[in-house]
Amino acid sequence: MKFNTKTIHGGQKPEEATGSVMPPVFLTSTFAQSSPGNHKGYAYGRGTNPTRTALENSFAAIENGTHGFAFASGMAAIDCVLRLLKPGDEVIAGDDLYGGTYRMFTQLFQKYGLEFSYVDMDDVKNVSDAITQKTKLIWIETPTNPLMKIADIESISSSVKEVNSNIIVAVDNTFATPYLQKPLDLGADIVMHSATKYLGGHSDLLMGALMVKDEKLAKEIHFIQFAAGAIAAPMDSFLALRGIKTLHIRMQRHCENGKAVAKFLKNHPKVGEVYYPGFKDHPNHEVATKQMKDFGGMVSFRLKDQSKEVAFQFLENTQIFTLAESLGGVESLVNHPVTMSHGSIPEKERLKVGITDSLIRLSVGIEDIEDLLADLEFALNT
């Protein structure tokens, strides 16, 4: 199947008992057994649920994996990946990360004995040079949140495996979605999504996803998911599966609108730097062009006036762009990383990578572009 068909039919089949085209929402915690251990593939909801199974099959299909896993949140999915490691193991991550990921690394797993180092993944050599005997996981976020840096997944995966084939390469594919790039096809071992975002697409659920190809790795992840219990609920699974069925057409519009918004901002006299990998002068434009189908609907920019007061004035004056956490829904959202998505990162570390008071992140929705541009113009000039 081609991708657009996979979003609708990938891993799916009509429900056997009734022929229902969409899987029913199985709101049950347990399943009847005819004798001890003899059941119809489902015993207890923490282990498996038919609605969640349908979603996980879809997850695997759209990322060209063999196994998909649905978690209670994106952070629960990252937590599961880190539980593959043991005290003393090292994780190499990019230097521009979602604040919640950084918080989990530094405030939770670091005190449990994992070690973390952060490198600029613009240069593949920075990653390979950082590898030590302790390195067990490479954590790649691309495009990054919020500075839209692009890491070369294929080159990093290849160079890492040359050093040590046992090192796991994991990619947070939330911003791009499998519509734009497929990390497993580029050599990664694990793909992670905050399915709350583009995969769900309607700002009505919390969910995380992991997709893999390797059978052994899939068994380890399933055990951790079952033992720790951070699973996606049946109703959320149904909503996410419904969202995935329109992922391709939503992403087309996100990309179209994102491109127009980025161009508008770049030409506006009150706007400084615009972070959007579709621009030819973006430092990672060639890599983005090579590994991504298009450039997505996420755009970050910096106001020329560097004060927090002016940034707040802009944020308070948008009418269609809603000031809120999260991203990837059909509606346009605006975010202030310093006080919102990256507030948990210490100021010194934020400033190192350029997350300043005047930095603003847009999740460009699928509304009429004329309305979005008018809203930005109004907020910039009010």
pLDDT tens track for 82-135: 999 999 999 999 999 999 999 999 999 999 999 999 999 999 999 999 999 999
Beta bridge partners of 323: 334
What mean pLDDT is predicted for residues 154-172?
A: 98
Nearest partner of 344 among 95, 105, 151, judged by Cα:
105
Catalytic residue set: 46, 98, 172, 197
Asked whether residue 218 falls in the same domain as residue 177, the answer is yes
Q: Clarify whether residues 178 and 253 are in a common domain.
A: no
Domain that holds residue 43: 3-242
88 and 232 housed in the same domain: yes
How many Cα atoms are found within 13 Å in the side-chain-facing hemisphere of 48?
13
Domain boundary pick from 226, 242, 258: 242
Q: Say if residue 194 is in the same domain as residue 264.
A: no
pLDDT in tens, 223-254: 999 999 999 999 999 999 999 999 999 999 99
**Tokens linked to 319:** 């009418």
User: How far apart (Å, rounded) are the C-alpha atoms in residues 23 and 35?
Assistant: 27
Query: Residues 144, 166: one domain?
Result: yes
Tokens of 55: 């979603």
- Nearest Cα neighbor of 276 from 255, 294, 299 is 299
pLDDT single digits (tens) 347-363: 888 988 899 999 999 99
Domain limit, last residue, from 242, 265, 296: 242
Looking up residue 59, the CATH number of its domain turns out to be 3.40.640.10
| Maximum Cα–Cα distance across the chain | 73
- Average confidence score pLDDT of the chain: 97
pLDDT per position as a tens digit, 257-314: 999 999 999 999 999 999 999 999 999 999 999 999 999 999 999 999 999 999 999 9
288 and 272 together in one domain:
yes
What's the structural domain count of the chain? Answer: 2
End-to-end CA, the chain? 49
Residue 17 has pLDDT above 90, yes or no: no
Q: Are residues 312 and 365 in the same domain?
A: yes
| 17 or 270, higher pLDDT | 270
Cβ partners under 8 Å of residue 347, min gap 6: none
CATH code where residue 309 lies: 3.90.1150.10
What does the pLDDT read at residue 71? 98
Same domain, 308 and 205: no
pLDDT > 70: percent of the chain: 100
Residues 233 and 85 occupy one common structural domain? yes
Q: Are 65 and 212 in contact (CB under 8 A)?
A: yes
Which residues touch 355 (CB under 8 Å, ≥6 apart)? 146, 147, 337, 338, 342, 345
**What does the pLDDT average to over 141-154?**
97
Last residue of a domain, one of 212, 242, 272: 242
pTM: 0.96
Same domain (yes/no): 215, 263:
no
Q: Are residues 237 and 253 in the same domain?
A: no
When pLDDT is cut at 50, 70 and 90, the band that residue 344 belongs to is confident
pLDDT band at 343 (very low <50, low <70, confident <90, very high): confident
Q: Is the previous residue joined to 146 through a cis bond, with omega within 30 degrees of 0?
A: yes
Q: How confident is the model at residue 16 (pLDDT cuts 50, 70, 90)?
A: confident
**pLDDT over 90 for what percent of the chain?**
95
**6, pLDDT greater than 90:** yes
Residues 149 and 188 in one domain: yes
